[in-house]
Structure 1
Amino acid sequence: MAEQYRTSSRVAEASSAADKAAAAQTKILLIGHTDDTGSSELNAELSERRARAVARLFADHGIARENVFYQGAGETLPIADNHTAEGRSANRRVEIVDLSGARADILQSYASSRVPKYQYYRAVTAQSDQAAAGVAPSTSGNATTKAARRTATKNRAATETAVAGPAPARAASAPVSANTTAASNSAPATPVASTRSTSSDGIDFGWHEALPATLGLQFAALPASSSTLSFLSSAVADEAPVAKSCVNDRPRVSRAMKSVADDRAVPVRDHLPNLYGSSWGAALNGQYLALKDVSVLRNGATAGAKPTLLVWKDFDRSAGPNGSPQVTLSPDVNAYAVKGGVLYRVFVKNSGVFDCADIIFSNGKATSGELVRRKSSQYFTVNYVPVIART
């Protein structure tokens, strides 16, 4: 299979000077995938090892190493339903993405335009027993020969999505048909009583007890016809329901794209407005909670590097957050493209701080947000709508 992508052969077969130049600069991206069984972190690591092995094989068969890239996408980009054994088997694969054309930014454009099929994600409750038992992801099958998929994409406008799918090695693949299902979720959580979570066992952000059914922000999938937001591709219509609250979700870890030439990450700079290394914060009940280095790619469905969560206790509004924060954490995050903007989901899982947070960003602003803390069988929430501090 690698021989089919040999650069010298493709250049020789090209009919024009422009086609020859494009063939010489064609990028080949190998993406490793897993099902969602077991640890998402281990899934990302396993998928990267598989993708790297195949990428090196391609580089050894006549493709310039600087034009071969790989990524461990883990469980983040399923093509089949993880609820079934057949679906999980199909998701364990290595995908070949043929990015033809001389555009220097074609790799970055592709990375920032992919949108996962959320309907194939499983809720945490469906996997909790396996996760608690530490079940590892399956490694059965030969990732190179059993699950490789081929994708060819032509030189496209920056707003188009390069969609992976089975196709001849040098033919453009057809777009995936849109799923018109729109996911509507419950209204923001409301307190069920005046019960407060005491500060003796954690930071008191002004918690109020809430019923599990009321947890979660109000959001929905984008309509199938087109995006209502200029910075999101119409491909986000291929969405399905996302867990309405962060307590029913888990981090879904993916590795960066890397070059076979030096195994270094490829920088991707195509981000949403105000969501490229920006800092956000707000005061809550005398504390100041901030998120530093918040990044989301243009697709609205891929978070950048992990942010830094900071807490200053006994916050003085007149002076602002001074000195060193009392809490510094590096939480995992998920990002989901939703109607009206982006759902940015933060997994803290620290009993002294909180469990998780959901924030909706729209047009460069945070429009709603919620922190959630679980204590025994009780849930406590507080609204959190940070403002941008710097970019």
Structure 2
Amino acid sequence: MTIRSPIVFGVVLCVSGCAINPQTGQPEVAASVKSQFNSIFNSDNPCSNNDRNIGIAVGAVAGGVVGYLTRGAKGAAAGVVLGAGGGFLVGHALDTRRCELYRIAQANGLKLVSAPITQGKSGAPGSTDKPTTVGLDVQLENKTDEFVAGTAELTPQAHKYLAEIANQYAPKTLLAALPANTTPEQRVQAGGRKVLIVGHTDESDASHGADPSTLSQQRAKAVAKVFVDQGVPVQNIFYQGAGDTLPIASNATDQGRQENQRVQIVDVPTEADLQQFLSQRTADPAKYRFASAVATVSDKVAANDSNSAVRTATQDRPVRHKQQLQTHQKTATDGAEKTASASSNNSDRDAETIPAPIARTEVSPTVNSPRATASAGKIGPGYDFGGNLTSGGGIPVRLGSAPAKSSFSLISSANANAPMTLNSCLGDRPHNASAVRNLATDQVLNVRDYLPGFYGAPWAAGLNGNLVALLNVRVPSDAGSPVPQPELKIYKDYTGNVTQKPSYSSRVPVNVYRGSDATLYRVFVDGPMRCMDLIVPNSKPRATGNVYYTNRSVDYTASGDFALH
């Protein structure tokens, strides 16, 4: 009897189940066949062997096509068998673990989601190789009683179900799940897999006085030790406190904040695979609580102007008038953890470099009323960046659409292509993360890649005769890595003398938000300015800087062109 391959099965499905849509005139699969297809490849049952079935089908189709092209019909049959076997090996261990994790979650009332981690093959140019599944990304929502409130101490019930989960990553469990035809090399690889534990919080932790990065790091380390107790080699375990830097849901809702409180478990074959996974992490700025900007017509004009690398026509002169001053509490800022890197020597050299003389930049006026802040008393008169009275909440920032979903992303954004307009830095605060560390040595897993334009060179601009320079501006490609603090230097009444000492110098915390059109490098300052938004177009080595400062209890906004030096 002839063996029926998935290729033939697909043809039979189309012959028996395809119909012509009378509206479009195009063939489509009948509803009954769609249901059958979904029950095999898209089942809601986590123990339905979806990945194995998909692996078999993809492997069989690829093998059959190659076999047919090289050896005709007989070659196609042989290719189908070989392709199906390879796909089975790829998906079997993934299915087994995912099924067991969901069983544990159901037994303990846990909310758990997972996704395969894929890696593109490095083939010849024009290669059509499919991505290879190398691991699993599991995210477990924290239960309210998982940790003792305000601490990293696991409760007894949490320790019990986390131990069951950790056991699924132990080499003995992995080896037992491998099929009999697994090669010796694959068995050795299974015993040396790297596991990353990441703790995540929501934005409310910071408002309660806790440092999200520190607390989430301590909790991730506590979970990592449970994995050691279950037989996972300590040298193969890494941990990180990502704080609130990688939200998967909106922090504007209670449900979203609850979902953001989670533990993430990532496993991949090698440390190189782990670094590649980290370099692919992205964050959607629209998920932060501050993000949504309700822009008026005038604000939209200002936003468009502020994101231009070259400033154009000026707006109408602002109407200055007296208004009752309002005082609000300034959010305290915490310094971001510095990331160790092989390029630290270059970083120090950049920090000592004073940019060449820069011509004064004309600033664009903004509109309307002054505001007062609690920090106004800390800033004495004398710093004038040539701005105008701050309008409302400042100038909205447009970045384009959210970053494209990486191959490792667990949850894709439904509005990935929708343009983002973010509020100014006036309503924001620093979001900090700790570095990824090895549990055995506590050494930092170094960041290797940085975004273009953010690899350590300084940005500088002249604002009303003052030179404003940001030195050691670095942004890791990994959106979850801590962003090194730059050094802000301000030269009041700059004369062009390279030996002139700065009138203000400080390391300052930053947030980074990325979009399809531009990157926002947001600087928080407790000094001559309150904060600054540096909007860097992805295609140009120039940027627009919106500087917010207070002088004599009145708030001003100045905008100018910053150049990369």
Instruction: Describe the shift of the 1:294–1:239 C-alpha distance in structure 2 as closer, same or farther (beyond 3 A).
Output: farther
- Separation in structure 2 between the aligned mates of residue 327 and residue 60 of structure 1, nearest angstrom: 51
1:109 paired to 2:276: yes
Cα shift at 1:316: 2.0
Cα shift at 1:52: 0.8
Q: Which structure 2 residue ranges, 5 or more long, are not aligned? A: 1-164, 293-327, 333-362, 373-378, 407-411
Structure 2-normalised TM-score?
A: 0.50
- Separation in structure 2 between the aligned mates of residue 105 and residue 202 of structure 1, nearest angstrom: 52
Any residues of structure 2 matched to 1:1-391 within 5 Å, and which? 1-11=165-175, 13-14=177-178, 15-39=182-206, 42-98=211-267, 100-102=268-270, 104-123=271-290, 190-192=365-367, 201-212=381-392, 215-222=395-402, 237=416, 241=420, 243-298=422-477, 304-317=483-496, 319-320=497-498, 322-350=499-527, 353-361=528-536, 362-363=538-539, 365-374=541-550, 378-389=554-565
Cα shift at 1:194: 12
Instruction: Describe the shift of the 1:224–1:345 C-alpha distance in structure 2 as closer, same or farther (beyond 3 A).
Output: same
Cα shift at 1:131: 8.3
RMSD: 3.6
Structure 1-normalised TM-score?
A: 0.70
Instruction: Describe the shift of the 1:225–1:336 C-alpha distance in structure 2 as closer, same or farther (beyond 3 A).
Output: closer
- Separation in structure 2 between the aligned mates of residue 194 and residue 97 of structure 1, nearest angstrom: 50
Cα shift at 1:291: 1.0
Give percent identity, aligned residues only.
33
**Greater fraction helix:** 2
Amino acid at match of 2:265: I
- Separation in structure 2 between the aligned mates of residue 385 and residue 360 of structure 1, nearest angstrom: 10
274-283 or 51-60, which moves further after superposition? 274-283
Cα shift at 1:80: 3.0
Counting matched residue pairs gives: 318
Cα deviation, 1:134-185, whole Å, max 9, x if unaligned, reads: 9xxxxxxxxxxxxxxxxxxxxxxxxxxxxxxxxxxxxxxxxxxxxxxxxxxx
- Cα pair 1:74 1:254 within 8 Å, conserved: yes
Cα shift at 1:92: 1.9
- Cα pair 1:74 1:253 within 8 Å, conserved: yes
Cα shift at 1:225: 9.9
- Separation in structure 2 between the aligned mates of residue 348 and residue 133 of structure 1, nearest angstrom: 11
- Separation in structure 2 between the aligned mates of residue 36 and residue 240 of structure 1, nearest angstrom: 23
Cα shift at 1:239: 7.5
- Separation in structure 2 between the aligned mates of residue 387 and residue 241 of structure 1, nearest angstrom: 24
Q: Which structure 1 residue ranges, 5 or more long, are not aligned? A: 135-187, 227-233
- Cα pair 1:301 1:342 within 8 Å, conserved: no
Cα shift at 1:249: 1.7
Larger relative contact order, structure 1 or 2 (CA cutoff 8 Å, min sep 6): 1
Instruction: Describe the shift of the 1:303–1:225 C-alpha distance in structure 2 as closer, same or farther (beyond 3 A).
Output: closer
Cα shift at 1:93: 2.0
- Cα pair 1:294 1:304 within 8 Å, conserved: no
* SS of structure 1 residue aligned to 2:167: helix
- Separation in structure 2 between the aligned mates of residue 305 and residue 116 of structure 1, nearest angstrom: 17
- Cα pair 2:430 2:524 within 8 Å, conserved: yes
- Cα pair 2:535 2:543 within 8 Å, conserved: yes
- Cα pair 2:218 2:241 within 8 Å, conserved: yes
Cα deviation, 1:340-363, whole Å, max 9, x if unaligned, reads: 23111111133xx11111112224
* SS of structure 2 residue aligned to 1:72: strand
**Greater fraction strand:** 1
* SS of structure 2 residue aligned to 1:220: strand
- Cα pair 1:216 1:370 within 8 Å, conserved: no
Instruction: Describe the shift of the 1:331–1:25 C-alpha distance in structure 2 as closer, same or farther (beyond 3 A).
Output: same
